[in-house]
Amino acid sequence: MSLFNICFYRDRIYNNVLPGMLTTINLYGLIITFLISCLPVLINAQVLESSDEEEMMSELDFNDTSDFVRANRGYIGSLTDPVIRNEDGSVSYDVSVFDFIKGRAPSTVNASLWRQSKLNRKHGLFKVTDGIYQVRGFDLANITFVATDNGWIVIDPLSTPATARAALELLGEHMGKRPVKAVIITHSHIDHFGGIAGIVTAEEVETNGVEIIAPDKFFESAISENVIAGNGMQRRAMYMFGSLLKKDTLGFVGSGLGQMVSRGNFSILLPTTIINETGQAIVIDGLEIIFQNVPGAEAPAECMFYFPKYRAFCQAEEINHNMHNLYTLRGAHVRNGLKWAKYIDETIQLFGDDVAISFGSHHWPTWGNDDVLELWTKQRDMYKFIHDETLYLANNGYTMLEIAEKIEMPISLSSFFANRGYYGTLSHNAKAQYQLYYGWYDANPANLHALPPEAASKNYVAYMGGSATILEKVKVDIKKGKLRWAAMVLNHVVFAEPKNQEARLMLSKVYMSLASSAESGPWRNFYLTGAQELEFGIQKELLAGFSSTSSHNLLINLSLEDFYDYMAVRLDRKKTMGKEYTFNLIFPDVNETISIYLVNDVLHNRPGILSENATATITLNRSTFNDIITMKTTGLEKIMSGEIKIEGNSMAYADFLKMIETPFNLLFDIIEP
């Protein structure tokens, strides 16, 4: 660990402090002085839970190369230029940034996570079987192409149009150009539909009859799922996916589920065909597909499906080569492990006798009936074990935190690489199942109305003799390898005294040490992003190319009800000050109406209903409304042009609009109050 920390600080000194500032003499003096000051901690710091790492190494057979054989199988070719660019020239994805992931794991990365990242970094076009091809490594997810009689079915068109288009072009380069007959979107997470504009346009859907197939409630879930909570979720996602980290052995090495999400604008299209029941069969250009509807496990809307012609099953994201999240750290509704397991068991019953290939929205395919069934069975049993054992322990009186420490996976499951916690972990997934049934409260009265972090931390620091005393004590604990405890204590100091640089630097080192032993990509990313922000603050320049989850493309596709539910969350209650307004909104071009009510500092809406006592009635086309949302124009300009008509108290409506004009701050603090 001492080597890790020295290398980390060497890297940060060279890149963030020295350029243009120091002479050669001062350079060496600064480095020597800095390293001497750090030596007491650097030399003696130990990797957190070394016994856990030893247990991991003893459980796993690192000589088993079968996953590497599978991940390389069918390779055809990749990009000659590694950089995929958006239409504006910005970088969407660079497949070469992970070229450093090769050879043995460095001491700065968990060996098991390094193995997973070596598998995930493989990029290019792969033949799954005659008629089925995948492009992997161009985004967090895979894009799959399945041959019909005269064209292609495209499965999951990635996060952004640039990467999806690059994948389609790579396919055409090697397999010849054929028309897209249909797009299947397996579920409602954005890395599986956001790039659809790179595959097909709305006009092509209309004129060429391209089918857009998606599970029931896909569009509603995709549009609304992350908008209302989107700002907080996106900030947390920056931590989870390591978006602000440098790609190297000291920083970001991957997400476990895949490498990283591409950057650019998202896109979406309305489905033309909805999957709403298991057993539903559809024929696309001569190719039969049998669907299994699986809502409410990995995603609110999701489906898997089988191609009898190819004896190939698309497992979507219900089955993977890692433990998935029953609770995702970016923040979302917890998922039900029992329901998840039952869906996979249904898959085994429906298709287990015939299947020869199983491929998914992430990772590499599995070939052969025996190997496929082993994967399906062990994934099924893993999720059900987490659910059942959590409830067993909870019913015996253990609380959420106690269960997370006590639960142990059977060796038959934990020794299977596809069940390792590269993305989800046994710890936070067990907490998720507790939360699913019992919520946040552990029934201890002391936790019923606990102090918030900043206030509690100030009291902790005072009770423990002040920050100087704490820092001396915590150095001893760090030397003993008690890094989880050190993180908790130092976090109290930072929350009590955010400007305490010694505490911030010490906590940063602890987080880096925790990161080096984390088998989970998201855990590593959280630790390293926290360490980075403790040292250097929030670096806005690292946000280049980010698209907001409340981006224009998503907002203009919201229903009026969802849009005004979102506006209710955006309401700045310092500006409402007890005011009461009622407005009718009429949209003639889409034949829709809605009334909105501001009362008791709360905004309500009633779609399809107009108030008889409105403060004002506003009439405008939805197209005009969308132009204002996308900032192509302003409401004032449209009022002046007559495209917005207001009857009643126009000043009241203008006052109301001022209450919701303040955008959320994306870069809010996480590692300090």
Backbone angles phi, psi at 470, to 5 degrees: -60, -45
Q: Mind listing the pLDDT tens digit for each residue in 498-526?
A: 999 999 999 999 999 999 999 999 999 99
Which pLDDT belongs to residue 128?
98
Alpha-carbon distance 509 to 239, whole Å?
Answer: 17
Q: Which of 11-20, 119-128, 368-377, 541-550 has the lowest mean pLDDT?
A: 11-20
Q: How far is CA 389 from CA 28, 329, 331, 444, in A?
A: 56, 21, 23, 22
Letter for the amino acid at 298?
A: E
Number of domains in the chain: 3
The verdict on 214 and 187 lying in the same domain is: yes
Look over the chain and give the mean of its residue pLDDT values, rounded to a whole number.
91
Average pLDDT over every residue of 301-310: 98
Q: Mind listing the pLDDT tens digit for each residue in 469-481?
A: 999 999 999 999 9
The verdict on 38 and 129 lying in the same domain is: no
Alpha-carbon distance 55 to 64, whole Å?
Answer: 17
In a domain, 262, yes or no: yes
State the CATH number of the domain containing residue 612: 3.30.1050.10
The verdict on 19 and 125 lying in the same domain is: no
Letter for the amino acid at 552?
A: H
Which pLDDT belongs to residue 462?
97
- pTM value is 0.91
The verdict on 21 and 111 lying in the same domain is: no
The verdict on 170 and 30 lying in the same domain is: no
183, 210 contact by CB (below 8 A)? yes
State the CATH number of the domain containing residue 143: 3.60.15.30
> What domain range includes position 632?
559-659
Helix (H) or strand (E) holding 183: strand 180-184
The verdict on 37 and 68 lying in the same domain is: no
Backbone angles phi, psi at 538, to 5 degrees: -85, 120
Helix then strand then coil, % of the chain, to nearest 5: 45, 15, 40
pLDDT level of residue 549 (50, 70, 90 thresholds): low
Average pLDDT over every residue of 610-625: 96
Alpha-carbon distance 517 to 1, whole Å?
Answer: 10
The verdict on 124 and 201 lying in the same domain is: yes
The verdict on 194 and 336 lying in the same domain is: yes
Would you say residue 391 has pLDDT above 80?
Answer: yes
Alpha-carbon distance 210 to 389, whole Å?
Answer: 46
Q: Mind listing the pLDDT tens digit for each residue in 202-261?
A: 999 999 999 999 999 999 998 877 788 888 999 999 999 999 999 999 999 999 999 999
Would you say residue 22 has pLDDT above 70?
Answer: no
Nearest to 295 by CA among 330, 343, 226: 343
Average pLDDT over every residue of 144-150: 98
pLDDT level of residue 410 (50, 70, 90 thresholds): very high
The verdict on 132 and 22 lying in the same domain is: no
* DSSP three-state, residue 30: helix
Which pLDDT belongs to residue 46?
41
The verdict on 163 and 23 lying in the same domain is: no
Nearest to 642 by CA among 673, 613, 619: 619
In a domain, 509, yes or no: no
492, 85 contact by CB (below 8 A)? no
Longest dimension (CA), the chain: 80
In a domain, 236, yes or no: yes
The verdict on 234 and 116 lying in the same domain is: yes
In a domain, 464, yes or no: no
* DSSP three-state, residue 617: strand
DSSP 270: -
Q: Which of 51-55, 97-101, 103-107 has the lowest mean pLDDT?
A: 51-55
Helix (H) or strand (E) holding 341: helix 337-351
| Residue tagged 């005294």 (tokens) | 497
Q: How far is CA 443 from CA 270, 333, 397, 406, 448, in A?
A: 45, 22, 10, 19, 7
Would you say residue 40 has pLDDT above 80?
Answer: no
Last residue of a domain, one of 414, 429, 459: 414
In a domain, 493, yes or no: no
- Beta-strand relationship, 645-648 and 616-619: antiparallel
Contacts (Cβ under 8 Å, ≥6 apart) of 545: 86, 90, 91, 92, 263, 264
Name beta bridge partners: 124: 136
Backbone angles phi, psi at 529, to 5 degrees: -65, -40
Last residue of a domain, one of 360, 391, 414: 414
Would you say residue 393 has pLDDT above 70?
Answer: yes
Backbone angles phi, psi at 292, to 5 degrees: -125, 115
Which pLDDT belongs to residue 435?
98
Would you say residue 274 has pLDDT above 60?
Answer: yes
In a domain, 543, yes or no: no
Q: Mind listing the pLDDT tens digit for each residue in 336-388?
A: 999 999 999 999 999 999 999 999 999 999 999 999 999 999 999 999 999 99
Question: In this structure, what token pair is assigned to residue 607?
Answer: 């779609």
Which pLDDT belongs to residue 554?
79
The verdict on 605 and 572 lying in the same domain is: yes
Helices (H), 415-500: 426-438, 453-463, 467-479, 483-496
Average pLDDT over every residue of 544-571: 81
547, 266 contact by CB (below 8 A)? yes
